[in-house]
Structure 1
Amino acid sequence: MDIGIVSMRYAKALMEYAKSTGTEDRLYTEMRTLSRSFEKHPDLRAALENPVLPVQEKFSLICTAAVGDAPAGQELSRFVTLILKNRREAFLQYICLSYLDLYRKSRHIGVAKLTTAVPVSREIWERIRNSASHLLHAKMELQTDVDPSIEGGFIFDINDFRLDASIATQLKRVKQQFIDKNRRIV
């Protein structure tokens, strides 16, 4: 069965359940934390797919990745139990991402990522988030990353668009122009 179909079905069912109980906001923060845990710790997915690991340990591992030391909400606990009962733990990361997309679409939330060579001040972060929010007519979640390899400038990803104004990319373009020009001369 296709990963996208399975994950979307579970995510839609979770979204409907969360709406019926009125806990979609709390579940969103738990799923966002779980998704970030999958990003930061790739071994988490490997551990969940391990058939030797008992179901109870998988349950506690998922709950810890989602909420830390705090007790997991009833909705998350029931959902994780369902996932483990149906042996769909391999799809959990995709289910999280699908749920986050569904929630953001229902609440008109845009996602942006700003990558710079040096850390950005809080004032600039607020200006960028407010400008993007105003242009898209939606709330914005702005994530910032520091990547010294871009050497300067910034890379701004918003929804499916990318604005790359980094020094490294501009240097690559100039180099490619010189290479193309020299090919024509020879």
Structure 2
Amino acid sequence: MVGTRAALRYAKATLNLAKEKGLAKEVNDDMILIQKTIEENHDLEVMLKSPVIKSDLKRSVLKEVFEKKVNPITIGLLKLLIENKRPALLNLVAKEYIVIYDFLQGVEVAQVTSAVPLTKELEKTILKRVQEAVGKEISLNNIVDPSIIGGFVLRVGDELYDSSVAYRLKDLLSQFEDNQYISKI
């Protein structure tokens, strides 16, 4: 993904500064808010990525949306991204910060991809089972992808459990293609 390395650098630098000031948890909460806000507002994401919209307008929009809700370290990050003409990285920086922060706190992130959003009860059940299997505190991230048709795909660290209908259909198709049966009729 374009900009991932740069986003990781911004996230690490922000985390280091936040740790120095003793505000790493607060900045993590800010990053969660930023990520959620951008993902829920497609227009905001498009505006941040648009090369046509001037930096001053982007700065004023970000100031209006986040200034009273986040702490000064996060405001500094927003200003730095605007100055460096990198506001499109804001969502990636937020995601990277959250991942690094969770890793430092010993929290493993489990990503569940499903065809429809998970219910709260199902989310709790999955979270409990994954925590028992892994033996660590788990943070659950649900991604909705209708292309898997049904079932779910669970990724924890480098482990992948694919129980989707799409995977099973592909597996069935490959079994048919590999069939060496020759009719004797």
CA offset at residue 83 of structure 1? 1.9
Distance 2:137 2:20 in 1: 24
Q: Which residue of 2 aligns with 1:153?
A: 151
Task: Give percent identity, aligned residues only.
Answer: 28
CA offset at residue 9 of structure 1? 2.6
State which drifts further: 19-28 or 30-39: 30-39
Q: Map Cα deviations across residues 95-149 of structure 1 (whole Å, 9 max, x no partner).
A: 2232122111111111112234566553442232122223333221113355555
CA offset at residue 40 of structure 1? 5.1
The question of whether the paired residues in 1 share the 8 Å contact of 2:113 and 2:144 is answered with yes
Q: Which residue of 2 aligns with 1:57?
A: 57
Please provide the CA RMSD for this pair: 3.2
The question of whether the paired residues in 1 share the 8 Å contact of 2:155 and 2:161 is answered with yes
State which drifts further: 118-127 or 98-107: 118-127
Structure 2 residue ranges without an equivalent (≥5): none
The question of whether the paired residues in 1 share the 8 Å contact of 2:149 and 2:164 is answered with yes
CA offset at residue 90 of structure 1? 3.8
User: Quick one: which amino acid aligns to residue 32 of structure 2?
Assistant: R
TM-score of the two chains, using structure 2 as the length reference? 0.75
From 163, 167, 175, give the equivalent of 2:165.
167
The question of whether the paired residues in 1 share the 8 Å contact of 2:151 and 2:164 is answered with yes
Q: 1:35 to 1:119 in 2, by over 3 A?
A: closer
User: Quick one: which amino acid aligns to residue 53 of structure 2?
Assistant: L
The question of whether the paired residues in 1 share the 8 Å contact of 2:39 and 2:45 is answered with no
- 1:130 aligned onto 2:106: no
User: Quick one: which amino acid aligns to residue 70 of structure 2?
Assistant: A
Q: 1:149 to 1:110 in 2, by over 3 A?
A: same
User: Quick one: which amino acid aligns to residue 113 of structure 1?
Assistant: Q
Q: 1:155 to 1:4 in 2, by over 3 A?
A: closer
Q: 1:101 to 1:181 in 2, by over 3 A?
A: same
Q: Map Cα deviations across residues 139-173 of structure 1 (whole Å, 9 max, x no partner).
A: 21113355555444322122233211123322221
State which drifts further: 104-113 or 133-142: 133-142
- 1:34 aligned onto 2:39: no
Structure 1 residue ranges without an equivalent (≥5): none
State which drifts further: 27-36 or 105-114: 27-36
